[in-house]
Each structure stands twice: as structure tokens, then as C-alpha cells.
């Protein structure tokens, strides 16, 4: 069976805590900065709905327990997540957190089985190198579809769109706080 691995990174004009909180909000379904390329919908109900994903996940991390948050992701390199044939589906669980530094997500169901790790490295006072390391294997219908190629290229395109969406989301939040 094929194994895919890729690393994508981008320097974002934001602090590591802003990047971390943005990712946690997206995974919990509290933001939509990655749409239309990725649509995230929580599968498991958790305290994240009441307290905000970042606070919930930080508390679970400090307790050294695996989070109860499971999210279904639909992704499409063409931004067409409403079309079955061009959309991949993954269910992920957040399995590791180092607050403001690292998030590890395990793919537990869907078209892939593997791990995706996000890291947030401060570059200076207001810039962060965000890196995504994806190591996975295709599953189900994706085994056949992956034979046509493009899996790593599509994932990288989707992640780069995510980086840009995260940065826009953070800028918008800053603007709202300044004027709000």
C-alpha cells in the first residue's frame, strides 16, 4: 500500500498563540477560514462548544488526556467540497497538544489513515512559521483514486490555501478588536 508524506510551511504575520487558537477554532467548527477548500464539522459533542476549542483543548492537554473532539473534514483542491467525486473525507481526532506550539491529529476514519502534525515556531515578535507534516496511507476508494496520482500535490495546495485563510482570519480578528 502506498504511503504519502509531505511537509508544507509558510511564515504567517501572526503570533504562535493566534495561529494555535485559529487552528483549534477551525477544528472545533467555530470558524470557517479554510472554506471552501476544507469544511470541518465536529462529530463528537464536547465542552469545546461552550468554552471555545482552544480553552477546552488546553485544559485536556494539561490533564494529559486525549481530547474527546473528533472532526469530520471534507477537502477539495478545487474548492468544491459539495461534489462527491472531487472531495476527500477524513475523520480526525486531536491526540496531542503543546499549547501554542504543536497540534497532532490522527486520521481515524475516511479516505486516509495517518497523522497530521501542525507546529508553530516564532520567527520574531509578530511572525510565525507554521508547518504541517502529513504522513498517511489511502483507505477505501482512495486506494484506487490515488493510483492516478496527485495526492501530495492536492494536499499541499489545500494546506497552502489554509495558511492564507488562517492569516486572513487572524488579520480580521485583529481589525475587529481594534475597532470593536
How do the pLDDT tens digits run along the chain, 180 residues long? 789 999 999 999 999 999 999 999 999 889 999 998 888 888 754 444 344 444 434 444 443 344 446 788 777 776 654 544 457 888 999 999 999 999 999 999 999 999 999 999 999 999 999 999 999 999 988 888 778 778 899 899 999 999 999 999 999 999 988 876
3-state helix, strand, coil in the chain (%, to 5): 35, 35, 25
Name the one residue in this structure whose C-alpha cell is 472532526.
Answer: 71
Task: Kindly give, in sequence order, each residue whose CB lies less than 8 Å from that of residue 102, ignoring residues fewer than 6 positions away.
Answer: 96, 117, 118, 119, 120
pLDDT of residue 148: 78
pLDDT of residue 82: 52
Q: CA–CA separation, 74 vs 80, rounded Å?
A: 10
Q: CA–CA separation, 150 vs 152, rounded Å?
A: 6
pLDDT of residue 1: 73
pLDDT of residue 180: 63
Q: What is the DSSP letter of 79?
A: S
Task: Give the alpha-carbon dihedral of 138, 139, 144, 149, to 10 degrees.
Answer: -10
Per-residue cell: 50:
461552550
pLDDT of residue 79: 64
Q: CA–CA separation, 8 vs 21, rounded Å?
A: 19
pLDDT of residue 121: 98
pLDDT of residue 177: 86
Check residue 44 and give left, alpha or beta (phi > 0: left; psi -120 to 50: alpha).
Answer: beta
Task: Give the alpha-carbon dihedral of 150, 91, 27, 3, to 10 degrees.
Answer: -40
CATH number of 4-179: 3.30.530.20
pLDDT of residue 44: 57
Amino acid at each position: 500500500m502506498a504511503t504519502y508524506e509531505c511537509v508544507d510551511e509558510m511564515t504567517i504575520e501572526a503570533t504562535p498563540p493566534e495561529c494555535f487558537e485559529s487552528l483549534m477554532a477551525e477544528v472545533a467548527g467555530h470558524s470557517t477560514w479554510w472554506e471552501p477548500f476544507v469544511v470541518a464539522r465536529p462529530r463528537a459533542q464536547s465542552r469545546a462548544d461552550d468554552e471555545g476549542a482552544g480553552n477546552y483543548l488546553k485544559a485536556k492537554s494539561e490533564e494529559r488526556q486525549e481530547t474527546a473532539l473528533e472532526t469530520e473534514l471534507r477537502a477539495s483542491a478545487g474548492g468544491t467540497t459539495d461534489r462527491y467525486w472531487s472531495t476527500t473525507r477524513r475523520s480526525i481526532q486531536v491526540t496531542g497538544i503543546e499549547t501554542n506550539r504543536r497540534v497532532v491529529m490522527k486520521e481515524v476514519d475516511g479516505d486516509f489513515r495517518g497523522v497530521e502534525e501542525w507546529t508553530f515556531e516564532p520567527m520574531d515578535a509578530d511572525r510565525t512559521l507554521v508547518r504541517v507534516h502529513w504522513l498517511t496511507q489511502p483507505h477505501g476508494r482512495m486506494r484506487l483514486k490515488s493510483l492516478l496520482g496527485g495526492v501530495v500535490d492536492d494536499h499541499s495546495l489545500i494546506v497552502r490555501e489554509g495558511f492564507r485563510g488562517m492569516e486572513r482570519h487572524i488579520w480580521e480578528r485583529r481589525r475587529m478588536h481594534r475597532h470593536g
